[in-house]
Chain A
Amino acid sequence: MTTTPTVTAASAAPIIEFDSVGMRFRGQDEPFVAINQLSTTIPRGQFCCVVGPSGCGKSTLLNMVAGLLTPSWGHVTYEGSPITKANTRVGYVTQKDNLLPWRSVRKNIQLPLELRGADREEMRAKTDEIIELVGLTGFADAYPRQLSGGMRKRVTLARTLVYEPEVILADEPFGALDSQLKTVLQDELLHIWDRTNATVLFITHDLGEAIALGDRVLVMSKRPSEVVLDREVDLPRPRDVFQVRFEPRYAELHEELWTALSSQIRIEANA
Chain B
Amino acid sequence: MTTVASAPVEVLELDREQAIADEERRFRQRTRRYRTLVISCRIGVVVIALAAWQLLSGSVIDDFWISSPRDIAERLKTWLTDGTLADNTWATVQAMIIGFTIGSTAGVVIGFVLGRVKFLADVFYPYVIAVNSLPKLALAPLFILWFGIGLEGKVVMTSMVCFFLVFYNTFAGARDTDAELLGVMAVMGASRRARLFKLILPSTATWIFAGLRLAVPYSLVGAVVSEITASSEGLGHLLKTSANTFDTAGTFAVLAVLITIALIINIVVSRAESMTSRWK
- B55-63, B167-175, B181-189, B242-250: which one contacts chain A? B181-189
Q: With an 8 A cutoff between CB atoms, is A100 at the interface?
A: yes
CB distance from B113 to the nearest CB of A (A): 22
> B203: which A residues are within 8 A, CB to CB?
100
> B178: which A residues are within 8 A, CB to CB?
98
Contact B279 A143 (CB under 8 A): yes
CB distance from A104 to the nearest CB of B (A): 8
Contact B186 A86 (CB under 8 A): yes
A68-B186, A88-B187, A88-B188 as given contacts; A96 in contact with B198, CB under 8 Å: no
Q: With an 8 A cutoff between CB atoms, is B118 at the interface?
A: no
Q: With an 8 A cutoff between CB atoms, is B199 at the interface?
A: yes
- Looking at chain B's contact residues, is the secondary structure mostly helix, strand, loop, or mixed? helix
Contact A100 B202 (CB under 8 A): yes
Partner of A94 from B184, B188, B191, B194 at Cβ < 8 Å: B184
Partner of A98 from B184, B194, B205 at Cβ < 8 Å: B184
Contact B184 A92 (CB under 8 A): yes
Q: With an 8 A cutoff between CB atoms, is A21 at the interface?
A: no
Q: With an 8 A cutoff between CB atoms, is A45 at the interface?
A: no
A144→B189 CA distance, assembly (Å): 22
Residue on A nearest B184 in the bound complex, by CB = A92
CB distance from A162 to the nearest CB of B (A): 10
Contact with B along A107-139 (1 / 0, CB 8 A): 000011011100000000000000000000000
Contact B279 A92 (CB under 8 A): no
> A66: which B residues are within 8 A, CB to CB?
183, 187
Q: With an 8 A cutoff between CB atoms, is B10 at the interface?
A: no
A96-B180, A98-B178, A100-B202 as given contacts; A112 in contact with B279, CB under 8 Å: no
CB distance from B161 to the nearest CB of A (A): 29
Contact with A along B198-220 (1 / 0, CB 8 A): 11001101000000000000000
Contact B187 A90 (CB under 8 A): yes
A88-B189, A145-B279 as given contacts; A102 in contact with B183, CB under 8 Å: no
Residue on B nearest A114 in the bound complex, by CB = B198
Given A63-B183, A66-B187, A103-B279, 4 more pairs with CB closer than 8 A:
A68-B183, A98-B184, A112-B189, A115-B190
> Could you write out 16 A-B pairs with CB less than 8 Å apart?
A63-B183, A67-B186, A86-B187, A88-B189, A90-B187, A91-B187, A91-B188, A92-B183, A100-B199, A100-B203, A101-B279, A101-B280, A115-B188, A115-B189, A144-B279, A159-B188
**B interface vs A, CB < 8 Å?**
178, 180-181, 183-191, 194, 198-199, 202-203, 205, 277-280
Q: Which 9 A-B pairs have the closest CB atoms?
A: A86-B186, A112-B188, A98-B181, A143-B279, A68-B183, A88-B189, A115-B189, A102-B279, A115-B190
